[in-house]
Amino acid sequence: MNYSIDYYIDQLINHTNIFDTNINNFNANKTFDFSEETILITGAAGTIGKELFNQLIKCSYKKIILVDIAESALHNLSIDFETQLTSSVVFKITNINDRASVEYLFKTYKPTIVFHCAAYKHVPLMETHPYEAIKTNILATKQISDFAINYNVKTFVFISSDKAVEPTSIMGMTKNISEQYLRQITPSSNIQFIITRFGNILGSNGSVLPVFLRQIELNSALTITDNSMTRYFIGKEKACQLILESTCLKNSKNNTLTFKTSQAVKILDLAKAIISISKRSDLKIEVSGVRSGEKMLETMIAESELLTPTNHPEIFQIEHKKKSTKQIVDFKSLENISPESSTQEIKSILKKLL
């Protein structure tokens, strides 16, 4: 029998010892007052963008602008919520790399809150497409944040990743550099820039759980990259509620935040649990080897950072242990990268910016 992904998530959280139940203990009835806000969500058809919208549409708001380049995914999003839609919800197919299109969004809708979720996130794929990773994850982030300043946005939330911490991958490096840039421009702006760093969203598009379920459907072995590899997980509902909570924190103007997630989970243990839940004892587990850019263990903070509490028990502020010299991101070196540039050459440039 093929169970839904939601069934597997429920079983993993509530009927195994893989995760503690805290992984997704959000308040389903909580709403936020955004009645005076026009909210822009980039990457709105992705896992995080869609769940943010799912929670925001239950709140009071002035207008919500949902932006994505994926036509079918954005269309499906509109169908999923069609009974709840009003003229205050706008769907826009937009390439965030295109300057004119992004400026049009800010000029036309004048958002006051931006949730910047759009990014390329798959580590092995970005190792072979570094030029595209830089365009979307760094240069488009710069473009959107610069327009946010120009058009008087009040709050800008950037969705980062634990892969940005002491990164080894192209994807992680691009997130790290984007974090740097937002911290760089904060002192001279009137925007509250918020950087949210967390681990894997359990069941998100292209993540390990959907891959395992696809392999079960095909009656093939479940593949893991290494017996010792671990990852941190958080449920999408909880992650997005904490993202919304972060806009309400009354801390310093520049917040780099992380959330309480699961303990480090061995992917091998996750595969074994999935086989048990599926009642498919005939399935095998195969080790395929660590892929380019992957780390055995991700962490939420670097050795040079420390966690301090906020007034929310599951949100922590990330601070540097020592005051470091302010580094200016050299966008000229990034803008000179071309599709012909080799991965090795691009990684060398990125490493200089870390």
Between the alpha carbon of residue 57 and those of residues 41, 64, 159, 204, 302, the distances in Å are 12, 8, 20, 21, 36
Please indicate whether residue 142 is annotated as part of the active site. Answer: no
Quick count: other Cβ atoms within 10 Å of Cβ 208? 23
CB atoms within 10 A of CB 31: 12
CA distance 231 to 305: 20
3-state class of 279 per DSSP?
A: coil
Q: What's the CA gap between 30 and 327, in Å, rounded?
A: 40
Q: Which of 163, 175, 236, 295 is catalytic?
A: 163
- Give the C-alpha distances (Å, rounded to integers) separating 151 from 42, 110, 113, 189: 16, 7, 11, 11
- Beta-ladder partners of 193: 156
What is the chain's alpha carbon radius of gyration, rounded to the nearest angstrom?
Answer: 20
3-class SS of residue 26? coil
Tokens, residue 234: 């958080």
**Beta strands per DSSP E along the chain:** 33-42, 60-68, 89-93, 113-116, 155-159, 192-197, 200-201, 222-224, 230-231, 233-234, 255-259, 265-266, 285-287, 305-309, 315-320
Facing residues of 223 across strands? 286
The letter for the amino acid at 212 is F
Sign of the alpha-carbon torsion through 327, 329, 332, 337: positive
Listed in sequence order, the residues at least 6 apart from 178 whose beta carbon sits closer than 8 Å to its beta carbon are: 137, 138, 141, 142, 158, 160, 164
Task: Provide the annotated active-site residues.
Answer: 163
